[in-house]
Structure 1
Amino acid sequence: MALPLAFLLALVVLSCKNTCSLCCDLYNLLRLQQINSSAECQKLLEQSNGRPADCLSDGMDFKIPKEIKHPQQFQKEHAAFVIYEMLKDIFHVLERGCTNPGWNETVVKDLRAILNHQMDLLNTTVVGKLGEEHKTWAYSSPILRLKSYYVRIRTYLEAKEYSSCAWRVVRDELYWNFFFINRLTDKFQN
């Protein structure tokens, strides 16, 4: 028995609406998860170490890319990819943090666990599903500028021989990274 065309059309419209609803719910869930995660990371960074009085001369402007500070041009998927890349690079910067004096090893491990969880969540839900676009976006100008930014942070730490003061400067910079991640996360809103 053939179904009337109007009935089939109604099924298609409903299935599209449900798909959009699931997609929209996914991004809202990701947004809430990322905001909570960023707040936890900032709290942990505050606990990681103190700033000795003689570190004032160690300040540095690492020049975070403008598109990260003002992410108006990013679509949801691209914002998710940028957040993923930022979390990955923050994770790599902190790999050295556990071995430096003045850092609470437990706090750094907790921070890295949160970052790892968020990366897995983003990779599973959005980034891993970008396919060929993922490869193209991995070499886009915003991502390359972002990678250079994190290279400057790692180079600074190396030049300062991973001193407590250098880590404090980097810690403060990473703290602001989560503020910018939250701006990117706002792109998940409908």
Structure 2
Amino acid sequence: MSLSFSLLMAMVVLSYKSICSLGCDLPQTHSLGNRRALILLAQMGRISPFSCLKDRHDFGFPQEEFDGNQLQKAQAISVLHEMIQQTFNLFGTKDSSAAWEQSLLERFSTELYQQLNDLEACVIQEVGVEETPLMNEDSIMAVRKYFQRITVYLTEK
């Protein structure tokens, strides 16, 4: 049942539109790929979110890492890349493979992989524009720890 939370969390990550406001020159197919991933998530949703209410858990999204933190473009893109990478990893586990319909999971993973490639191209574009460090390591580590808490919780379930 807790995998429904993963579904919800992934939808939030995938519908994160701020990347467009960063001025990154993403391929036109990126937005379409995002839409396709959301449709696949909806098709994968076998469990009603209401049935998971008793399993709610606050994983402590590291909002303080981002509040008042003026991330540079390349840093923000790197943080978004890390969030999608961690989502990709979460859905790539053995438990996820058993929980979801295999062809939908493979198509969803392919969409995530394409988004990762698009964002990597974005980071390369921004490196030449900005002289700040490529990644805000504290923010990246906070995202990794957040997903680690989710993974531990799901493993215990």
TM-score w.r.t. structure 1 length?
A: 0.56
Instruction: Identify if the C-alpha distance between structure 1 residues 69 and 100 changes in structure 2 by more than 3 Å, giving closer, same or farther.
Output: farther
The equivalent of 2:33 in structure 1 is 37
Q: Pick one of 82, 92, 96 that aligns with 1:85.
A: 82
State the SS of the aligned residue for 2:83. helix
Q: Is the 8 A contact 1:91 1:115 kept in 2?
A: yes
How many residues were matched structurally?
A: 131
Instruction: Identify if the C-alpha distance between structure 1 residues 90 and 112 changes in structure 2 by more than 3 Å, giving closer, same or farther.
Output: same
**In proportion to residue count, which structure has more helix?**
1
In structure 1, C-alpha distance between the alignment counterparts of 2:29 and 2:79, rounded to whole Å: 16
Structure 1 residue 68 displacement after superposition: 7.4
Q: Pick one of 112, 116, 137 that aligns with 1:115.
A: 112
Could you list the runs of 5+ residues in structure 1 that have no partner in the other structure?
1-25, 161-190
Q: Pick one of 95, 98, 101 that aligns with 1:100.
A: 98
Residue 62 (structure 1) aligned with residue 59 (structure 2): yes
In structure 2, C-alpha distance between the alignment counterparts of 1:106 and 1:113, rounded to whole Å: 11
Q: Is the 8 A contact 1:89 1:150 kept in 2?
A: yes
Partner amino acid, structure 1, of 2:142: R
In structure 2, C-alpha distance between the alignment counterparts of 1:71 and 1:40, rounded to whole Å: 33
In structure 2, C-alpha distance between the alignment counterparts of 1:115 and 1:106, rounded to whole Å: 14
Q: Is the 8 A contact 2:84 2:112 kept in 1?
A: yes
State the SS of the aligned residue for 2:147. helix
Q: Pick one of 39, 42, 47 that aligns with 1:46.
A: 42
The equivalent of 2:18 in structure 1 is none
Q: Is the 8 A contact 1:67 1:142 kept in 2?
A: no
In structure 1, C-alpha distance between the alignment counterparts of 2:89 and 2:112, rounded to whole Å: 10
Listed as ranges, the matches of 1:96-175 within 5 Å are 96=93, 98-101=96-99, 103-127=100-124, 130=127, 133-134=133-134, 137=135, 139=137, 141-160=138-157
TM-score w.r.t. structure 2 length?
A: 0.67
In structure 1, C-alpha distance between the alignment counterparts of 2:24 and 2:136, rounded to whole Å: 24
Which of these two proteins has the greater Rg computed from alpha carbons?
1
In structure 1, C-alpha distance between the alignment counterparts of 2:110 and 2:68, rounded to whole Å: 26
In structure 2, C-alpha distance between the alignment counterparts of 1:126 and 1:99, rounded to whole Å: 30
In structure 2, C-alpha distance between the alignment counterparts of 1:128 and 1:159, rounded to whole Å: 41
Partner amino acid, structure 2, of 1:126: V
Q: Is the 8 A contact 1:88 1:119 kept in 2?
A: yes
Q: What is the identity percentage for the equivalent residue pairs of Structure 1 and Structure 2?
A: 25
Q: Is the 8 A contact 1:62 1:149 kept in 2?
A: yes
Could you list the runs of 5+ residues in structure 2 that have no partner in the other structure?
1-21
